[in-house]
Amino acid sequence: MSHDARDGDEAVPHLSPDEFRKLGHKMVDWIADYWSRLDSFPVRSQVPPGSVAAKLPVHPPEEGLGGEPGWDAVFRDLEDVVLPGLTHWQSPSFFAYFPANASGPAVLGELLSAGLGVQGMLWSTSPAATEMETRVLDWLAELTALPASFLSTSATGGGVIQGTASEATLVAMVAARERVRGHGAPANSQWVAYSSTQAHSSVLKAAMLCGVARSASDTVHVRQIETDAHFALRPDALERAIREDLAAGRRPFFVCASVGTTSSGAIDPVRAVAAVLERTGVTASGGWLHVDAAWAGAALVCPEHRALLDGVELSDSFAFNPHKWLLTNFDCNAFYTRDKRALLDALSVTPEYLRNAASASGAVIDYRDWQVPLGRRFRALKLWFVLRHYGARGLRAHIRNHVRLAEHFESQVSGDARFEVAVPRSLALVCFRLEPLAGETPEATDARNRALLDTVNATGKLFLTHTVLPAVDGGPPRYVLRMAIGGTYTEARHVRAAWEALSAAAG
């Protein structure tokens, strides 16, 4: 134990480098062992509310653990307190929500980031943190075939790592408002943002945070546009809503197009949406088109999926989460814009204590001006490690394997008369349900599907979640199950076992 106390100073029980090395080895071994036994755990935590807290002392410790032997208690608590209270997101049988990939290279990058302890708010506070992030995001843009206007090498564009797609949406919305103000809109304008009814809740939340929406129920300043039979935003409905708002004296300023909605993986027609903004004058008045591809964006590393982004060159910003499906652990959102000036105008605040010669020169990027927080971790390290370890070929194989597994699962559902595919498969997401029985009410069908989901999840052998798809062609809304394939360690045998469990539970 290293104390390094001067006369009169109290000893602080820091770990010495050798003690840290031993404990670090032990922790890495524990994580590796955890990954190797993921199949042995119930995927969803089985503990009742309050059980984890009941195992923790009410008061903080007065005395610390001391050196390595004292840490044995921590490793016991990991097994006895933490593991039982986890839903195992890295389980190969986790098919809920969307994936949250972790991988060995990403975890090593996260460890290195924590060990270096860099606060990369300014270029001058660690040039490596800034310049690596810029270059790695340009790599990622190339891998996903984004237009050159989104790269840092363009005159007006560039990328930055945000924490989440929600943060990216908020940053885009704030930049949009600033740009529209620059086109002559008064500060007290009645701002209106648009997305489809199936867009992520982060659009509404962003509008609330930046004062556009008065509340979560504000349907005047956040317009949720109806969707088509495949649950994609209808351009004609968007155009009608924008013209209504313009006629009422309101100021349309922001549209979010979703590429891969949470419920069903629906793809909004980006090119057609951009054309609506052009026809209605929203583009000419500074309006902003943001593309949220939080989950589906990872698939763009495969050339066969790049049609998903038709028209992205007409958007002002684009974002996706490598921490969902590209083997880079949370948190890592890749956000790109073609108008970095609007971000800087909206988000730059420079107190005297942050002024420095490099920033004043205009020759460097200060990423604190591209995000809501001031401080930032060295998150580019984990993305750098992932890209270097897997390479483009490995990343493509990762995505393609999951898409093939989803295709097979979809065929199993389609081939069983008891089930139906509720909406065509989107990449590695399959929405399905039990078919309605003859004479059965919609409520009864939904109840049987809820029971099916509860039954298979209760086994602990797999974990799925559900959604409710809106009514189409006069029919009722439908409760459906979601099979989201994308785990780092998921193989055909896990998908096969999931189908067998569902088939058996269906009776």
Average pLDDT over every residue of 68-81:
90
Instruction: Indicate the pairing of strand 419-426 with strand 333-337.
Output: unpaired
CA distance 91 to 84: 14
pLDDT band at 57 (very low <50, low <70, confident <90, very high): very high
Domain-wise residue ranges, the chain = 111-388
Asked if residue 132 lies in contact with residue 307, where contact means CB atoms within 8 angstroms, the answer is no
Please tell me the predicted confidence (pLDDT) of residue 3: 52
Other Cβ atoms less than 10 A from the Cβ of 243: the count is 15
Instruction: Report how far apart the first and last C-alpha atoms of the chain are (Å, whole number).
Output: 62
Give the mean pLDDT of 193-208: 95
Model confidence, pTM? 0.94
The CA R_g of the chain, rounded to the nearest whole Å, is: 25
The span from the CA of 483 to the CA of 419, in Å, is: 13
Q: Backbone phi, then psi, for 425, in 5-degree steps?
A: -50, 140
CA distance 91 to 330: 16
Q: What one-character DSSP code corresponds to residue 230?
A: T
Q: What percent of the chain has pLDDT over 90?
A: 88
HSE-up of residue 237 (Cα within 13 Å, Cβ side): 16
The answer, yes or no, to whether residue 112 has pLDDT greater than 80, is: yes
Q: What is the pLDDT of residues 303-340, one digit of tens each?
A: 999 999 999 999 999 999 999 999 999 999 999 999 99
- Residue 59 has a pLDDT of 94
Residue 4 pLDDT > 60? no
Strands 465-469 and 478-484: antiparallel
Contacts of 499 (CB under 8 A, 6+ apart): 409, 412, 413
pLDDT tens digits for 209-227? 999 999 999 999 999 999 9
Question: Residues 6 or more apart from 8 whose CB is under 8 A from it?
Answer: none
Query: How far is residue 348's CA from residue 338's CA, in Å, rounded to a whole number?
Result: 17
**pLDDT at site 7:** 65
Class of domain 111-388: alpha beta
